[in-house]
Amino acid sequence: MSTQAVATEALDAVRALSTNRNLCMIPGPIEFHEEVLEAMKVGATSHVDPKFINIFGESLELFRKVLFSKEGQPFIITASGTLGWDMVAANLIEKDENVLVVSNGYFGDNFGECLKNYGAQVQYLPSEFGSRPTLQKIEQALNEKKYKVITLTHVDTSTGVLADIEGVAKLVRQKFPNTLVVVDGVCSVGCENIKMDDWGVDVVLTGSQKALGAPPGLSLLVASQRAISVFEKRTTPPSSYYAGWNRWIPIMRNYEARKASYFATPAVQNVMALNVALKRLEAFGIENNFAKHREVSDSFKDTIESWGLQLVPVSRDVAAHAMTAVYYPDNVTAADFLPKIAARGVTIAGGIHKENASKYFRIGHMGISVVEPQRQHITRVLDVVKESLSECGYKI
Amino acid sequence: MSTQAVATEALDAVRALSTNRNLCMIPGPIEFHEEVLEAMKVGATSHVDPKFINIFGESLELFRKVLFSKEGQPFIITASGTLGWDMVAANLIEKDENVLVVSNGYFGDNFGECLKNYGAQVQYLPSEFGSRPTLQKIEQALNEKKYKVITLTHVDTSTGVLADIEGVAKLVRQKFPNTLVVVDGVCSVGCENIKMDDWGVDVVLTGSQKALGAPPGLSLLVASQRAISVFEKRTTPPSSYYAGWNRWIPIMRNYEARKASYFATPAVQNVMALNVALKRLEAFGIENNFAKHREVSDSFKDTIESWGLQLVPVSRDVAAHAMTAVYYPDNVTAADFLPKIAARGVTIAGGIHKENASKYFRIGHMGISVVEPQRQHITRVLDVVKESLSECGYKI
């Protein structure tokens, strides 16, 4: 076979995936706008090309705005969102410092694992599956020991439970002013309300492929000036090289000042796609985006409940607006149900919370699937869930 | 302005960059084949979609073949190539273990910095700008102390100097069998000959955007089974979370076994583009690719020297085939020369070696620019260099 023939066959496999693609209704990666994807195929561009530097700098500024931060230091690093945990652990924690990890599920637990990996003394404040600890419980835990950092998973993608960031941040700022408030916003940034400055949040981290609406590949984080000065007062160097803010702060500042600089080659195309996604978000209005996600989430959950199904979050006020986690009804199993969904051209997610993985499924509703109802993603996924349940013998 | 208007304006900026794009002749990111870029705009796809798992698994297998490794453990991680250094340091080094860093420039020096960051005792074996240490010098250094790891930068992108991987690896295997041979192949993998198994190399790391011919965003590494067993015998956990092989080995093995698993969401689109690039490389033939890069590099350097210019590498046998580093002639400065190149629609790179940055420039010649002469990238960059030198007052 000639080079061209083999190569075209290679692309054919990828194209086949593209044209017969399932509608992607997992809690990230989410469906992307065509203009965002268009930016992914910009040809080779130097990471120090002035036009690219401008796009990068602009993206940093736009990302800061998404979090209502005026002075925070934004980072856009080439990695999965997970690297955000390493950035927190390796830059804000020195050996044996105390961290309170408020965990509502799989991702909270793993953030704790990451912190331990870098030497933190981690105290978990767990909660029952589907619930979150009360503010009183959190205050009680903070009173027991001096914590350098408290971490919260805004939306634990494993359970769909929403943390009360505003309540916790305001409590900490008032009563434990030296404790840093760190928010894993992987499944929340862009679609759940976060006011970094007003609430006194110190770090928010996320990935590009959730409510920001860009393909995966970028780890995004904003650190408050309070967090940056805690970082600057370290007595030991950051315990990571690639995730070290000492390497990245000068680079990010240079990008914002539209100056060329280099530490590691960024995923140029992904940054361009993120830029388009952030501009679309700004144009739609971030508050509008929050409202639209709340509205669609509410009606989505109403429909699910009207079918006699039970949500994983114990009540609506602890339920995320980016996704819905739902228990299987009696006599319906993941092994039976999920392939029926896939066969109908839609991808949703199974459970991933350790002990409860087999008991529930998860559907993401973020980005264009939410704000562009004409695409009918929401009605389609609901139809497919209904049909598949029915085929499994569950009558609605 | 309406959402659509603002958003389209956002894409326009990116499109403008695309249509008025300079020919990218830096030593990476390199110019990509259209089919590779086409794969970058595949719509949202779950990272556990069976078709994507197949593409990922296949990419791991193809990458292993590029390095002529039969049993090595490949890793494809979402990050800049730089994370490969963290993977080596965090997984193969425990506190105070000795590493010999053979450095021909900026990248070798920084690899050493990364190793120190994770607790290694680093001994540098430096060399004069433009040269590399002799095998005898390396043997002498290895005799002075017991080293757990020796690192070599195959092509130091800052100088264009080529290391003798085969010679060093064979020496180490014969005389220092417990020392691991680690190769930074960022600017070599795919276009310089590397026979991992035959030569006894333990780790080769690279990034997606160099001679493999895919966009930036993926850090690639193959570890020999010897390296994996050294890793498995650690007495302390890996000193990184995101770069920890304990996290990634099960994931990579599952992808190869075409099984779904999850640690962090990979850059799905970038992996698809890499897959197309690797299939193109396989179809062309990896040995053919080496030969073509040697041939084009030789004639490129002949032309440069025929103009009376001097190469940075002290002799042809220590010069890389992926790039050429060239001293400015007397009375030509970077500030004068580089903008003249850019104005002609081509991007090349300035110097980045600390003390010598202002004395030379760098041109990359890899991938489609080399193997598809009909694109006339090589002739174009040479023409533009010639014209710009002439405009700077240097007569050829």
Please give the single-letter amino acid code of residue A268.
V
**Residue A296's closest CA among A371, A348, A346, A361?**
A371
Closest residue on chain A to B236 (Cα): A117
DSSP string, B51-114: HHHHHHHHHHHHHHHHTT-SS-EEEEEEB-TTHHHHHHHHHH--TT-EEEEEESSHHHHHHHHH
Cβ <8 Å between A43 and B32? yes
Please tell me which of the candidates A14, A81, A272 has its beta carbon nearest to residue B265: A81
Interface mutation target, options B9, B17, B186, B261, chain A, most CBs of A under 10 Å? B17
| CA atoms of B35 and B23, how far apart (whole Å) | 17
**Contact indicator for A103, A156 with CB cutoff of 8 Å:** yes
- Between B396 and A140, the more confident residue is A140
**DSSP bridge pairs for A109:** none
Domain boundaries A34-282, CATH class: alpha beta
Tally A–B CB contacts below 8 A.
291
DSSP string, A208-235: TTSTT---S-EEEEEE-HHHHHHHHT-S
* H or E segment to which residue A122 belongs: strand A121-125
pLDDT (average), residues B351-377: 95
**If pLDDT is split at 50, 70 and 90, which confidence band does B4 have?**
low
Secondary structure of residue B231 in the 3-state scheme? helix
**Residues 6+ away with beta carbon under 8 Å from A148:** A92, A93, A97, A98, A99, A178, A179, A180, A230
Mean pLDDT, all residues of chain B: 96
* H or E segment to which residue B360 belongs: strand B360-364
- Report chain A residues whose CB lies below 8 A from the CB of B266: 80, 216
Nearest Cα of chain B lies from the Cα of A136 at a distance, in angstroms, of 32
pLDDT for the residue numbered A2: 59
**Contact indicator for B138, B168 with CB cutoff of 8 Å:** yes
- Report chain A residues whose CB lies below 8 A from the CB of B5: 283
**Residues 6+ away with beta carbon under 8 Å from A33:** A213, A276, A277, A280, A367, A368, B7
Nearest Cα of chain B lies from the Cα of A78 at a distance, in angstroms, of 5
Please tell me which of the candidates A40, A45, A269 has its beta carbon nearest to residue B24: A45
Cβ <8 Å between A83 and B79? yes
| CA atoms of A202 and A186, how far apart (whole Å) | 15
Cβ <8 Å between B42 and A17? yes
Cβ <8 Å between B13 and A80? no
Nearest Cα of chain A lies from the Cα of B84 at a distance, in angstroms, of 9
| CA atoms of B202 and B183, how far apart (whole Å) | 8
Which parts of chain A register pLDDT below 50? 1
**Contact indicator for B353, B159 with CB cutoff of 8 Å:** yes
Q: Where are the domains of chain A?
A: 3-32+285-392, 34-282
**Contact indicator for A161, A319 with CB cutoff of 8 Å:** yes
Cβ <8 Å between B6 and A30? no
Phi, psi of B72 (to 5 degrees): -60, 155
Interface mutation target, options B9, B52, B265, B271, chain A, most CBs of A under 10 Å? B265
**Contact indicator for A352, B262 with CB cutoff of 8 Å:** yes
pLDDT for the residue numbered B7: 61
pLDDT in tens, B42-61: 999 999 999 999 999 999 99
A247 is in an annotated binding site: no
Cβ <8 Å between B40 and A38? no
pLDDT for the residue numbered B3: 60
| CA atoms of B152 and B162, how far apart (whole Å) | 10
Provide ipTM, 2 decimals. 0.97
Whole-Å CA distances, A279 to A41, A66, B9, B12: 18, 11, 9, 11
**If pLDDT is split at 50, 70 and 90, which confidence band does B18 have?**
confident
Interface mutation target, options A1, A2, A6, A17, chain B, most CBs of B under 10 Å? A17
**Residue recorded with tokens 């916003």:** A185
pLDDT (average), residues B97-107: 94
Secondary structure of residue A118 in the 3-state scheme? coil
Cβ <8 Å between A79 and B78? yes
Interface mutation target, options A21, A23, A82, A241, chain B, most CBs of B under 10 Å? A241
Which DSSP letter does residue B21 get? P
Interface mutation target, options A265, A272, A323, chain B, most CBs of B under 10 Å? A265
- Report chain A residues whose CB lies below 8 A from the CB of B117: 237-241, 244
Cβ <8 Å between A10 and B275? yes
Cβ <8 Å between A80 and B6? no
**Residue B323's closest CA among B347, B339, B300, B302?**
B300
**Residue A81's closest CA among A228, A209, A231, A266?**
A209
Cβ <8 Å between B241 and A117? yes
Residues in chain A: 396
pLDDT for the residue numbered A265: 97
**If pLDDT is split at 50, 70 and 90, which confidence band does B180 have?**
very high
**Residue B132's closest CA among B106, B110, B163?**
B163
pLDDT for the residue numbered B12: 81
pLDDT for the residue numbered B2: 59
Cβ <8 Å between B216 and A268? yes
pLDDT for the residue numbered B199: 98
Closest residue on chain B to A49 (Cα): B347
pLDDT (average), residues B364-392: 98
Closest residue on chain A to B44 (Cα): A31
**Residue B371's closest CA among B295, B301, B319, B316?**
B295
- Report chain A residues whose CB lies below 8 A from the CB of B349: 46
Whole-Å CA distances, B245 to A134, A252, A278, B86: 37, 28, 33, 11
Cβ <8 Å between A239 and B239? yes
Please tell me which of the candidates B43, B263, B284 has its beta carbon nearest to residue A21: B43
Cβ <8 Å between B28 and A282? no
Residues of chain B above pLDDT 90, percent: 93
Cβ <8 Å between B17 and A209? no
Phi, psi of B394 (to 5 degrees): -95, 115
**Residue B63's closest CA among B293, B257, B271, B216?**
B271
pLDDT (average), residues B72-87: 98
Residues in chain B: 396
Which DSSP letter does residue A68 get? T
- Report chain B residues whose CB lies below 8 A from the CB of A16: 51
Residue B200 backbone class (left: φ over 0; alpha: ψ -120 to 50; beta: rest): left
> How would you label A258-272 residue by residue, b for 16+ Cβ within 10 Å and e otherwise?
eeeeebbbbbbbbbb
Cβ <8 Å between B241 and A85? yes
| CA atoms of B38 and A263, how far apart (whole Å) | 28
pLDDT (average), residues B110-130: 97
Cβ <8 Å between A264 and B82? yes
pLDDT for the residue numbered A5: 63
Secondary structure of residue B289 in the 3-state scheme? helix
Domain boundaries B3-32+285-392, CATH class: alpha beta
pLDDT for the residue numbered B13: 77
pLDDT for the residue numbered A253: 98
Nearest Cα of chain A lies from the Cα of B297 at a distance, in angstroms, of 21
Please tell me which of the candidates B24, B239, B240 has its beta carbon nearest to residue A44: B24
| CA atoms of A384 and A369, how far apart (whole Å) | 15
Nearest Cα of chain A lies from the Cα of B118 at a distance, in angstroms, of 7
**Residue B133's closest CA among B105, B107, B174, B113?**
B105
